[in-house]
Structure 1
Amino acid sequence: MHASQIRIDTVTVVAVGAVLALLSVVLVPWRWDAWKHRRTGRSLSTLVAVVAVVTACGLAVNSAGSFYPTLGSLLGTSPNPGEGTVADAGPDGRDLARTLATVGARAAAGHGSMLHLTVTGRRTGLTRDVDVYLPAGYTEPEWADFRFPVIEWIPHFPGEPRQVATLYGLPDLLDREIGAHRMPPTVVIVPDPNGEPRMAHDSECVDAVQGPADDTYLAADLRGWALSELRVRSDREGWAIAGWSSGGYCALNLASRHPQWYSVAVSMSGYDRAPQDVETGDLFHGRADIQHANDVTATLREHPSPLRMLVTADAAAGDEVAALGRLRAAVAPPAELTTWVLPASGHNLDAVRSDLPPVLAWLDAQLGNPVGRTDPPPGQATEGQILPWPLPDPGTPGSLHGTDAAV
């Protein structure tokens, strides 16, 4: 058993932590005068009690919020990054053809397939784990000459691709929606937005000043790889981006910064501005222009584009509701904003799982269908093309800036 299999968010773990904390606290007065070496015994027993109480409280808070579902996520390591997938397609998906036999076998039973691979960015040089969901129709002969729409799904911090399958249950939901013809056959790309180690390393999917070019990797590098290796649509109407919590901010920010590539964005319980806290640190290092260019509200107000957005907020989460209000005030045509204030259920994975079906139903109404191979090739100008707006230069090697839109 490895760290990624050890759950630390269950009721049992919380109960055990609480019992141990209680026993540790009781031990202090009970043994206060009974220690052979009183000073040492008193000091150690008090220290153990304090650590046990803090740990028990941390486990309870973690369970309520599902922040670190496993010991592996807490430690910032992924000894089994392929968990939740059915095959490994290797570096840059070079073994993708080999996995198609597995994909085809699962398709015969009406199941799509989540594959694990790594992608090294052509611009940034970053290498990250990526999971790719291929719908059941991907290997069927009647779909051989079609390109599929794409949803890029950004995991929450400190999440990683495998958690979208194992904790969100997204592949099973996709199978159900696609199988019932409520959703077109769709390719879903789930990248790692942070890399390892994850502890105190929340990238917020931005091209950080003096940091990695995560925005460029997620928007340009991943798109370029997908257009090269997968049968996916190249037009912006064929691409949507979604996420929960920090992944929701990532989705809104990437779509509004790169409307030439995305037409649809979904933020589930996200926000509109990157925080500056212990986990995130200072992403902008005093560069007000870079910080402003990653403020979704400001971008939508100053660079309006034909984006269709769904933003949800928990009714009891003041920060989420406040962000939703700012977005409502900023959005104007040609952008379209749909907002849902959901019943209070907490910022946790149970809420995500209950909200996913209606979110997928909304996406179904926005996604285009698979199209024939006769659509314009990647990079070719198309009618109604949306041009990039000039991004400030963060000075990060490989990052997109100005009106550069090369993948």
Structure 2
Amino acid sequence: MLGLHASTIRLDDGWVVAAVAVVALALVALVPWRWDAWRHRRTWRSVTTVVAVLGVLVAAGAGVNYLGSFYPTLGSLLGSSGNPGEGTVADIGPDGADLPAALPLLDARSAQGHGSVLHMVFHGPRSGITRDADVYLPAGYTDPAQAAVRYPVVEWLPGFPGEPREVVALFGVTDLVDAAIAEHRMPPAVVLVPDTNGEPRFGHDEECVDASHGALDDTYLTTDLHDWALHTLRVRPEREAWALSGWSSGGYCAMNLALRHPDLYSIAVSQSGYDRTPDDIVTGDLFAGRPDLAAANDVVAHLRDRPAPTAILATAGADEDDEQAALARLRAAAVPPVTLVTHTFPGGGHNQVAVRAQLPPLVDWLGRRLPAPVAPTLPIPDPPS
């Protein structure tokens, strides 16, 4: 397309929305203007009316997409996976196999006080799922003097129908983390941003669960990714050093996965999330009518019946009625050893503007709870006999 890739064509830009709206207005104006001028009046009156209605629908969809950033690029709308590394500085190949080749670039950025976001295609051996993922490594990760240091980890989960570039490029989460680390508001940490849904993205909301007769997303996002990080990166293995965070469906995923896997995670942040999977035209019945599977992925049921020592921050905007109702259910169900903090942001709304405005205090909250990197001490040798 004239040298452009679909993933570089933004759909969430205000100018794009304005242009679509102008075209829609022109199509609407064309109907009465040409009403009696057509040679074949019945045919062309019908055609122009239908086209005008379609134009209005497209303009309305563009406006909704601008507010919610459901499809930030044409590539995400079409479900194409080209240029998946948007917002990243290097591609490290399948499962990060080419990470050593990217180390000089990381060194250069680290010398300037910046961490680096890298793109890879990650294959989960247990789940059998292969998708894109981004990896943020903090400044100093490649410093030879820090070669024994292991870092805490945050898995940041996109909302539906988002992808890693939503978190990295659109919301700028890794930039916020980079700044928080530089300003000592967060300890140096590794951030993993996996694709939670894959492609195609139409009608494909998988909610990060191991669906009945479906994809093993839970296994992919927890066991597979956790094991890969432990074997490939220098990260701390303790549950106290692992956190999950996300927006919208990513917020639900963060809470649900943390409570389902208390052996792996101790912290969860839900930004405008909810407490159970929807059963709608986009998601469908992920559990094939099985109440046991539904209960096993219900955050309120976990808090009430299977509480684990987990620190949870759940937030929503004051104008988000469904999310506020979810917060009330969480507060009513939470019992020790869960530590639940809820917060309502003024105004808000389920859109990218609100997400960006609310993210800085969420990053700071995480920063106060993540443990610092550690360098394992060497065992003291036994004295010679």
- TM-score by length of structure 1 reads 0.90
Instruction: Give the direction of change, closer, same or farther, for the CA distance of 1:99–1:18 in structure 2 (3 Å limit).
Output: same
- Distance between the aligned counterparts of 2:78 and 2:321, measured in 1? 30
- Distance between the aligned counterparts of 1:344 and 1:261, measured in 2? 35
Q: Is the 8 A contact 2:320 2:348 kept in 1?
A: no
Q: Is the 8 A contact 2:316 2:348 kept in 1?
A: no
Is 1:39 aligned to 2:42, yes or no?
Answer: yes
Q: How does 1:377-396 map to 2 (within 5 A)?
A: none
Is 1:17 aligned to 2:29, yes or no?
Answer: no
**What's the CA shift for 1:62?**
1.5
**What's the CA shift for 1:182?**
1.5
Equivalent residue, structure 1, for 2:74? 71
Q: Give a deviation string over 1:55-87, Cα, whole Å, max 9, x none.
A: 111111221222222212222222110111111
Equivalent residue, structure 2, for 1:338? 341
Residue 102 of structure 2 aligns with an amino acid whose one-letter code is T
Structure 2 residue aligned with 1:192, among 185, 190, 195? 195
**What's the CA shift for 1:323?**
0.4
> Structure 2: which 5+ residue stretches go unaligned?
380-385
Structure 2 residue aligned with 1:123, among 114, 121, 126? 126
**What's the CA shift for 1:36?**
1.4
Equivalent residue, structure 1, for 2:295? 292
1:35 alignment partner, SS class: coil
Structure 2 residue aligned with 1:171, among 145, 161, 174? 174
- Distance between the aligned counterparts of 1:10 and 1:195, measured in 2? 24
Q: How does 1:85-124 map to 2 (within 5 A)?
A: 85-124=88-127
Instruction: Give the direction of change, closer, same or farther, for the CA distance of 1:236–1:13 in structure 2 (3 Å limit).
Output: same
Q: Is the 8 A contact 1:117 1:131 kept in 2?
A: yes
**What's the CA shift for 1:373?**
3.1
Residue 208 of structure 1 aligns with an amino acid whose one-letter code is A
Q: Is the 8 A contact 2:67 2:353 kept in 1?
A: no
Is 1:148 aligned to 2:157, yes or no?
Answer: no
Equivalent residue, structure 1, for 2:204? 201
Equivalent residue, structure 2, for 1:132? 135
- Distance between the aligned counterparts of 2:6 and 2:101, measured in 1? 29
Is 1:220 aligned to 2:186, yes or no?
Answer: no
Q: Give a deviation string over 1:233-288, Cα, whole Å, max 9, x none.
A: 11101100100111000100100110110000000011011111222122111111
- Distance between the aligned counterparts of 1:306 and 1:159, measured in 2? 30
- Distance between the aligned counterparts of 2:201 and 2:123, measured in 1? 19
- Distance between the aligned counterparts of 1:85 and 1:12, measured in 2? 25
Equivalent residue, structure 1, for 2:86? 83
> Structure 1: which 5+ residue stretches go unaligned?
377-407
**What's the CA shift for 1:171?**
2.2
Residue 203 of structure 1 aligns with an amino acid whose one-letter code is E
Is 1:279 aligned to 2:282, yes or no?
Answer: yes
- Distance between the aligned counterparts of 1:146 and 1:321, measured in 2? 41
- Distance between the aligned counterparts of 2:132 and 2:71, measured in 1? 18
Residue 278 of structure 2 aligns with an amino acid whose one-letter code is P
**What's the CA shift for 1:168?**
1.1
Q: Is the 8 A contact 2:242 2:266 kept in 1?
A: yes
- Distance between the aligned counterparts of 1:105 and 1:124, measured in 2? 36
- Distance between the aligned counterparts of 1:6 and 1:194, measured in 2? 21
Q: Give a deviation string over 1:130-151, Cα, whole Å, max 9, x none.
A: 1000000211123211110000
Equivalent residue, structure 2, for 1:399? none
Equivalent residue, structure 2, for 1:353? 356
1:44 alignment partner, SS class: helix
Q: Give a deviation string over 1:147-204, Cα, whole Å, max 9, x none.
A: 1000000011111112211111122212211111111110000000111111110110
Q: Is the 8 A contact 1:119 1:225 kept in 2?
A: no
Is 1:56 aligned to 2:59, yes or no?
Answer: yes
2:251 alignment partner, SS class: helix
Q: Is the 8 A contact 1:135 1:185 kept in 2?
A: yes
Q: Is the 8 A contact 2:67 2:352 kept in 1?
A: no
Is 1:229 aligned to 2:232, yes or no?
Answer: yes
**What's the CA shift for 1:375?**
9.8
RMSD value over aligned CA atoms?
Answer: 1.4
Equivalent residue, structure 2, for 1:393? none
- TM-score by length of structure 2 reads 0.95
1:222 alignment partner, SS class: helix
Instruction: Give the direction of change, closer, same or farther, for the CA distance of 1:216–1:375 in structure 2 (3 Å limit).
Output: farther
Equivalent residue, structure 1, for 2:329? 326
